[in-house]
Amino acid sequence: MTTALLPEDPRQLGRHHLIARLGAGGMGQVYLARSPGGRLTAIKTIHEHLAEDPHYRERFRREATAARRVTGAYTAPVLDADPDARLPWLATAFLPGVTLRRAVAATGPLPLPAVRALAAALAEALRDIHAAGLVHRDLKPSNILLTRDGPRVIDFGIARAQDDRALTETGGMIGTPGYMSPEQILDGPAVTSATDIFALGAVLAFAATGRDAFGAASVPALLYRIVHEEPELDDVPVESGLKDLIDACLDKSPGNRPDAAAILHRTVTSARSAWWRDEPLRSLLADAESTPHPDPEPPPAPTVSLPSPAPSPSPYPSRRGELSRRAVVAVGGAGLAGLFGYAVAQGGGNAQDEDPDAWKVTGGTAASGAIRWRLSAGAGRVDALLATSAGLVLHGLEGTVASSGATQLRTASTGRRRWVSETSDDVPDDWGVTDDGLLLAGGILTPTTISTGKILSKAATPDPTQQWYALAGTVMVIRDVNVLRAVSLTSGTELWRREERSEWRRPAVVGDALLLTDEFARPTCVGAREGEELWAYGELGKDDTVTAVGALPPDRFALLTEKGMLHIVDARSGDRVTARALKTGIARGATALARAGDAGLLLTGSTLHGFGLDDARLNWSTPALGLDACWPRRPGGVHVPVVAGGLLLHWKDGRTLAALDPRTGRSRGRAKQFEGNGPAQCPPAVAPDGTAVYAAAGRACAALRTTAKGLTETHTRTAPAPVTALAADTRGWYACAGRKTVMAVNG
């Protein structure tokens, strides 16, 4: 996707005349340009406010220098760079083509001979990268470009020299969930060339099956699977020899993985096939190459070289990150990943409705229970839905976009697109709305006014080191590396900022109070608006640490410890209300605490418990499908239970939706059974008035009404593919089927 230059955009950087915008991220802007000789180039810049930080400027300089050392037939060359300009930039060759992710989405998994040939090409590319002393660190399908001359590995913006240790302190680990190696997630072995081999195995699994090797799940679940579980390779034929190769690449131990030369030796005979020139890829590449590009606009005035900023000491000290920070920073777009996550590929136009690959909308009818409109993602995908008063917000990948994602607003009545913003292609798991504001963290999108798509607060622009954000009313509290800060979403100003040495995890929020926890520090409560410390909780047992924290509004917090102690704490004073040892297993990393009606809730692993708010006693337990399928996320990524009409709506298994009394855990009426078609993959959606509930298991969808006796079915519908996301508003409900189709259904 290319869009016109904005008035504030530069018209020339170095010798390159800018033509259009290619993409944007939390780190900066990517432009399409022409060299003096007419060659198309992609110019990557970083935001001026980041360029003012000597650490990021120096990092940009080192990584630009390192990337220039890479040469080879299967890599995209770096042509020019100026890390000392006021707006630092880097120019790479612009390669017409499509990413591997888009190619597989559009045409399906590659034939096995093509996958083996791809393995040979990528192994040769990695051999050249590693020979230059670099580790790519973010090899993934959207960073592999298919061109008329074969595959190319692109985006060296986060590559790092293997012997470069000078800037790793605050840089953290970088990667994409699903393609990161165990050593990128854990505080363990150093990141070496073996890290790229692990990613290569995941890429080959995707090319062969059309699915990610470790499945589709929340970020924490993906990280856990990579470290502790085996990849899903059942659909890769054993007799091809490819499964053994992928298995070897995905070995948990870096020392057991083959190097690039060994992989090339195993696959070199396959490299003779120009598989990308066969249909249907041939037509896909031809379409990408056929889009014309305008000439650069004449500059309004002669270009003046700007002096480089004088170096100044960074206000934030460096520090090696522990496990919790590394895992979070890795998926939040740390370092230059937020900028360089955009492929230097031709997208194929501006994604207008006539584009055959763009998201398309077809109309329906106004009858109750009928489809109002339907959206098809074409060669792209839709990952997430968010119903708002202004319309339906969608996130996904448009078919014409090489590797950047798209967040857009569609009208609820007709599905017409009102605005679109290029964002990360990672699935947002912490987005949400507040009044007319759309919040996405992780370096994805600056807080935006939903109705217009305009920036809500520049002060809340995601920092590349952002770990999490939390929402307390209209105050957004943001955790960056070594910094805790707050921004008003009404005035757009920063309210306070302070240096923090503790590795605070995502907090629980009650009113204006945030309860922060860390493995080594006492739980501490701070005021969101002023940033002052309200109290610290010192009644954890010896050598015990907090594993989960939750809000029990209006005036209490719940803390669960590693040793199974449940503490209930007064949010105003920090005094302990009660504490009790729980006689139940705790599933690390898949546990949440919340309140529903007069009961506290603890969902851990495959069990949901109800506990007393005054005595912390477990009063009932019932099977649960799991945290991500049962409890949706709210702004900041906090899980909350689904409550409608005073009933707790709960997936007891993949096909049984129960309506429970939160206090007793007893079912109200008969549970709704969904027959066949696969298990539920997402929580139910509830209409704003709380009377209508929409749920799906596999392809089976049901609209339900809440009554004193439980749930009553009003209508059903069969989706074209398993439903992966649901949303609801006053008009009805929305279902995302197979990440390819969105149905807007009347209530």
Q: Burial-class residue 230 by CB neighbours within 10 Å (0-12, 13-18, 19+).
A: exposed
User: Can you say which residues are annotated as belonging to the binding site for ATP?
Assistant: 44
Question: Averaged over 183-208, what is the pLDDT?
Answer: 88
Tell me what pLDDT residue 507 has: 96
- Do both 389 and 488 map to the same domain? no
Same-domain check for residues 143 and 273: yes
Cα separation of 746 and 36, whole Å? 56
pTM for the full predicted model: 0.61
Q: Which residues are catalytic?
A: 138
Question: Same domain, yes or no, for 223 and 137?
Answer: yes
Q: What's the pLDDT tens digit per position in 32-47?
A: 999 888 888 989 888 7
Claim to verify: residue 493 and residue 403 sit in the same structural domain: no
Are 550 and 593 spatial neighbours (Cβ–Cβ below 8 Å)? yes
* pLDDT score of 165 more than 70: no
DSSP bridge pairs for 91: 43, 80
Residue 354 placed within a domain: no
Domain membership of residue 375 (yes or no) is yes
| CATH code, 466 | 2.40.10.480
In a domain, 350, yes or no: no
What is the tens place of the pLDDT at every residue in 621-632? 999 998 989 999
Position of tokens 């477990």? 618
CA distance linking residue 441 with residue 329, whole number of Å: 12
Q: Could you tell me which residues are beta bridge partners of residue 376?
A: 360, 741
Between CA 614 and CA 600 the distance in angstroms is 9
Last residue of a domain, one of 240, 257, 290: 290
Q: What is the identity of the amino acid at 219?
A: V
Which CATH number covers residue 575?
2.130.10.10
- What is the average pLDDT value for the chain, to the nearest integer? 81
Residue 365 burial (CB < 10 Å; 0-12/13-18/19+)?
Answer: exposed
pLDDT digits (tens, 9 = 90+) for 389-418: 899 999 887 754 444 567 889 999 999 999
Q: Which domain holds residue 570?
A: 502-634
Shared domain for 630 and 643, answered yes or no, is no
Pair (419, 450) in one structural domain:
no
The rounded percent of the chain whose pLDDT value lies above 90 is 43
Model confidence at 133, pLDDT cuts 50, 70, 90, reads confident
Domain check: are 272 and 409 in the same one?
A: no
The number of folded domains in the chain is: 4
Q: Do 267 and 129 share a structural domain?
A: yes
CA atoms within 13 A on the CB side of 395: 26
Render pLDDT for 16-75 as a digit per residue (tens, 0 to 9).
Answer: 999 988 776 556 788 899 988 888 898 988 877 677 777 778 877 877 777 777 766 677
Residue 80 is assigned to a structural domain of this protein: no
Binding residues: 44
Q: Specify if 201 maps to a domain.
A: yes
Q: For residue 335, what pLDDT band results from cuts at 50, 70 and 90?
A: very low
Q: Which residues of 414-440 are buried (b: 16+ CB within 10 A; e: fewer)?
A: ebebebbbbbbbbbbbbbbbbeebbbb
One domain for residues 484 and 572: no
- Among the candidates 290, 313, 339, a domain finishes at 290
- What is d(CA 615, CA 50) in angstroms, rounded to the nearest whole number? 50
pLDDT of residue 484: 93
* Mean pLDDT, rounded, for 444-462: 67
Within a domain: 75: no
Q: How far apart are CA 51 and CA 49, in angstroms?
A: 5
Cβ neighbours for 696, distance < 8 A, ≥ 6 positions apart: 674, 680, 681, 682, 702, 719, 723, 726, 735
SS3 assignment, position 200 = helix
In a shared domain, residues 557 and 677:
no
Q: Does any domain span residue 163?
A: yes
Same domain membership, residue 257 and residue 147: yes
Note whether 239 and 180 are same-domain residues.
yes
